[in-house]
Each structure stands twice: as C-alpha cells, then as structure tokens.
Amino acid sequence: MAINIKRPNGTEDVLPKDVHRWQTVEKIARETADSFGFSEIRIPTFENTELFMRSVGETTDVVQKEMYTVMAKETKFTLRPEGTAGTIRAMLQNGLLNEALPQRVYYILSCFRHERPQAGRLREFHQFGLEMAGSPSPSADAEVISLAKNILDRLGLKNIKLYINSIGCPTCRAKYHEALRNYFENRKDELCETCHERLEKNPMRILDCKSPVCQEIAKNAPVILDFLCDECGEHFEKLKKYLGNLGIEYNVNPKIVRGLDYYTKTVFEFVTDEIGAQGTVCGGGRYDGLIEQLGGQKVPALGFAMGIERLLIVMDKQKCEFLTPRKCDIYFATMGDESLEKAMSISHELREYGYRAEFDLMGRGIKAQMKYANKIGASFTVVLGDNELSQGTAKVKDMETGGEVEISLDDKFRVNFESLYFNKMMDSLEDGEMLNNLNGDVK
Ligand code: ATP
Ligand code: MG
C-alpha cells in the first residue's frame, strides 16, 4: 500500500526554488545585527517546561493554550514557543552575564505554537530575534528599535508602522492593575470566559484579548501611560527623543501590552495593514525583571523577534527584491570514462575556488546533457569529446552570448576560466546588472 503521509497542519516545506527568499532575509538580518555588535547564539529546540511557565507567564495565551509539551521519561519538555526564554537561560547557564556588558546576541530559530493555522499564523514558524542584556538606558531601547527598523528598510519593506508604548515597572503597574480591575469589574458580565480569569490574575491581558466584544469594552479602559512612575515616564520620554533624533517615525499606542508576561517599560511592534489580521512583523520590548526571575542577578535586558514567514508575505506583496539564487557556473558535457574523469578533476579544482561546477551523473548523451545545462541555467558549458581530449584543449561556451573561447585542459584551465568569468561579470556590471547574489562576492 502506498504511504500517503502529509506534513502536519500549520507547517511548511521550503523548496530549493524558494530557499533564496529565506536566505535573503537571514543574510540581511545577520549582517545588520552584526553591524550593531551582535553575535549569533544557538539554543536547544526544547527546554524544560518550567522555563516557559516562569518566563513567558502562566496567564499568557502561549502558556495556557499554545505550547507543545511532551512527557519524556518523567520529565516535562516543551518545544520552544519563542526564543527569549531559552536565550536568557543559556546566558545564565554559561555565565555570559559575567562577561563584558552589554551582552548582545541574535538568533534564527523555529518556534512552535498550537494555534489555528492561517496565512501568517503557523504551528511551526521561524523568528529572527535578538536580546541585549545589561543596559538600563533608553539609548539601548533606541538602538534595538533602530536595528529592527534597519533590517526592515534593508529588506526593502515600505509602510511598516512602528508602535511604541510603555507598560511601566511593577510599581506603576500595581496601580494600573487596580484601575483596570475597577473598570472591567463594572462590565464583567460582558467579558469572555477567559477574560474573567484574566480579571483576577492579570487584567492587562484583557487588553490583548482577540474577542471583538472584549476589544470593544477595552477601548475605553484606562491607559497605562497615565500611571507611569517618574522613572518609567522619563525613560519613555528619552526613548521618544532618541527615536526623533534618529529620524525614526513612531506612533504611541497605549493599547500595546504584548502577549508575553515578562515585559517592563518599553514595548513596541512593527505592523503592516497590507496582509490582513496577521500584520505584526516584529514585536519586542524591555524585560528588566526576567533575568532575576530566572535565578540570575538583577540585569536589565531587552529584545525583539521578527516572524520570518510574515516578513516574506509582505515582501511578496510589495514585490521586494530577493538576492539572486546561485546558478551553475560551468557545466562539463562528457563522453565516456576518460572525459568524465577529466571533468571530475577540473571541477574539483574549480570548486575549491568557489565555483559551482557540474557534470553528467546520469549517463546521458551529449544532446540531453546540453538540454540539462540549459535547464539549470549554466553560465558556461564545455564539451569534453574525444577530439578535445586528444588535443588537450576545449571550447568554453558562454551560454548567454554564444561566444566561445578555447582553453587548454591542463592545470592552467582554472586561471583561464577565471579571467573569462571575470570579464563576463564586468560586462554585466556595465550593462547595469547588480551583483546582488547570495554569495556576496563576485561569484
Ligand atoms: P500575534 O499577536 O500575531 O499572535 P505574538 O504577540 O504572539 O503575535 P510574539 O510572541 O511577539 O508574537 O512573536 C514575535 C513575532 O513572531 C510576531 O510579531 C510574529 O511576526 C511572529 N509570530 C508569532 N506567532 C506566530 C505564528 N503562529 N506564526 C507565524 N508567525 C508568528
Ligand atoms: Mg500569538
């Protein structure tokens, strides 16, 4: 019986023809983060469940409804629903916070949340994210926001709005919670069931509720900005000033509370209204209490995460350009064993120098091989027939122009091919073509 197993709902395959889109986002995000002094960190795909309970927060949707948890030999593990908790855990476990501060790390990873799959909302999705630990200063907030903005700009995205808010510290929040409770208590009967519980445990979560009725009620709720203590208020004012200096446009939106519990002071989102309800492409903020909460010293920190799938949806919609995928530089059409061995040895050397070289592995005839070379878009082809082998030279054909150059099949082949290749590059540069490929260099 044929096996007919499909990928699970809410997961995606990225095929070779599309992978350059992902690589474009990853390359630009990496390079931008690097230019701001961030280095990459890699963390496990699963962690002890308790890590997420304690950091993301027990009253959040993520912990209450969305985590994939397995019981494995009496230990509870959870597939990471986000990257911050694991990253901070890794910083603590490896003593990074005892080194030079601020510590700056970024990551590209998959996250897992049991949600209802739809466009831009998956069960396995990918984030580019980063965390900076050690600085209490609003200049760090401005730095992180400007980094995110830089990535969006370099990807060519337009019309992405930045919303910022401050959700204060535990001191100002205590007063705010009281005001919220008083407000919602009066309309308790109209709230959804989950919000009843939120009202008790964490009334700010009601502001994040997706139910239209709760959203309508929340419209007139007191806003946190009216409850900020002096320190939090000043922090927010400074941040706005820095963003202004940097020429970064922002909108203050007091309704942004973010879906995770660990935030303090600054929270922000980059949102587009061009892709429907799933328009938040980046979310982040400050979490000054989290490190201590996870057993570390009192070290302030902040970060953000971007949803790569959502970025790609907006990039497609806005027809942003992707870096061109790598194509075959040179294809050797072979006839017989001696010819194949020659192709192997020359290809080996060319590959050492970074060229993408291919030859026949299917035992096809010359005509079929040339058809294949065309299909894969080879820049140059060489036929290694009996004549070529006996003369020790072969014609290297530029598949675009049809022009041919004879090159000897000895140890000078690579150098001669390289100059041919370089000239072609220069010609296409003169024709105004960009060298926007994924290699980042001439090839
Ligand atoms: P949303 O309100 O859309 O559910 P969130 O507040 O749960 O987002 P975060 O936890 O802040 O999202 O994650 C950061 C980013 O990761 C989001 O801004 C979004 O771009 C992306 N993201 C979150 N959940 C998903 C998902 N299920 N599928 C695809 N991308 C997601
Ligand atoms: Mg969510």
Please tell me the distance from the alpha carbon of residue 257 to that of residue 417, in angstroms, as a whole number: 59
Percent of the chain with pLDDT over 70: 97
Distance 258 CA to ligand 2 centre (A): 9
Asked whether 113 lines ligand 1 (CB < 6 A), one says yes
Give 302's Cβ-side CA count (13 Å radius).
Answer: 23
Band of the pLDDT at 1, cuts 50, 70, 90? low
Q: Is it the case that residue 443 has pLDDT exceeding 50? A: no
Band of the pLDDT at 227, cuts 50, 70, 90? very high
Q: What is the pLDDT of residues 126-139, one digit of tens each?
A: 999 999 999 999 99
* Cα dihedral 363, 369, 371, 374 sign: positive
Asked whether 122 lines ligand 1 (CB < 6 A), one says yes
Asked whether 343 lines ligand 1 (CB < 6 A), one says no
Q: Which residue's structure tokens are 């907030």?
A: 141
Looking at residue 65, what DSSP letter applies? I
Q: What is the pLDDT of residues 41-55, one digit of tens each?
A: 999 999 999 999 999
Distance 259 CA to ligand 2 centre (A): 6
Band of the pLDDT at 103, cuts 50, 70, 90? very high
Residue 435, pLDDT score: 54
Please tell me the distance from the alpha carbon of residue 228 to that of residue 276, in angstroms, as a whole number: 33
3-state secondary structure at position 269:
strand
Asked whether 208 lines ligand 1 (CB < 6 A), one says no
Going by CA atoms, what residue is nearest to atom 23 of ligand 1?
A: 307
Asked whether 307 lines ligand 1 (CB < 6 A), one says yes
Question: 301-307 and 75-79: which strand pairing?
Answer: unpaired
Q: Is it the case that residue 296 has pLDDT exceeding 80? A: yes
Q: Is it the case that residue 2 has pLDDT exceeding 60? A: yes
Residues 250/162, Cβ–Cβ less than 8 Å = yes
Q: What is the pLDDT of residues 341-352, one digit of tens each?
A: 999 999 999 999
Q: Is it the case that residue 432 has pLDDT exceeding 90? A: no
Residue 162's identity, in one-letter code, is L
Domain boundaries, the chain: 19-169+229-317, 330-424
3-state secondary structure at position 279:
coil
Closest ligand 1 atom, residue 269 Cα? 18
Band of the pLDDT at 250, cuts 50, 70, 90? very high
Band of the pLDDT at 441, cuts 50, 70, 90? very low
Distance 180 CA to ligand 2 centre (A): 22
Asked whether 285 lines ligand 1 (CB < 6 A), one says no
Asked whether 181 lines ligand 1 (CB < 6 A), one says no
ω before 102 within 30° of 0 (cis)?
yes
Enclosing H/E stretch for 17: none
Two structure tokens written together for 294 = 């996870």
pTM given for the model: 0.92
Q: Would you tell me which CATH number, out of the four given (3.40.225.10, 3.40.50.720, 3.10.20.340, 3.30.930.10), belongs to the domain 19-169+229-317?
A: 3.30.930.10
Q: Is it the case that residue 24 has pLDDT exceeding 70? A: yes
Residues 419/427, Cβ–Cβ less than 8 Å = no
Residues 327/307, Cβ–Cβ less than 8 Å = no
Residue 438, pLDDT score: 66
Burial class (CB in 10 A: 0-12, 13-18, 19+), 151: buried
**330-424: CATH class:** alpha beta
Please tell me the distance from the alpha carbon of residue 204 to that of residue 59, in angstroms, as a whole number: 10
Distance 370 CA to ligand 2 centre (A): 51
Band of the pLDDT at 442, cuts 50, 70, 90? very low
Mean pLDDT of 364-388: 97
Burial class (CB in 10 A: 0-12, 13-18, 19+), 371: exposed
Mean pLDDT of 235-243: 98
Asked whether 303 lines ligand 1 (CB < 6 A), one says no
Residues 149/270, Cβ–Cβ less than 8 Å = yes
Pocket test for ligand 1, best of 125, 263, 272, 273 (most atoms within 8 A of CB): 125
Q: What is the pLDDT of residues 413-428, one digit of tens each?
A: 999 999 999 999 888 8
**Region label for 37, one of left (φ > 0), alpha (ψ between -120 and 50) or beta (otherwise):** left
Residues 304/144, Cβ–Cβ less than 8 Å = yes
Asked whether 309 lines ligand 1 (CB < 6 A), one says yes
Please tell me the distance from the alpha carbon of residue 224 to that of residue 68, in angstroms, as a whole number: 33
Largest CA distance in the chain: 95
Strand pairing partners for 133? 103, 301
Please tell me the distance from the alpha carbon of residue 440 to that of residue 438, in angstroms, as a whole number: 5
φ, ψ of residue 6 to 5 degrees: the values are: -105, 165
Going by CA atoms, what residue is nearest to atom 9 of ligand 1?
A: 283
- Cα first-last separation, the chain: 47
Residue 434, pLDDT score: 54
Picking from 398, 395, 394, the residue whose alpha carbon sits closest to that of residue 422 is 398
Band of the pLDDT at 436, cuts 50, 70, 90? low
Give 393's Cβ-side CA count (13 Å radius).
Answer: 7
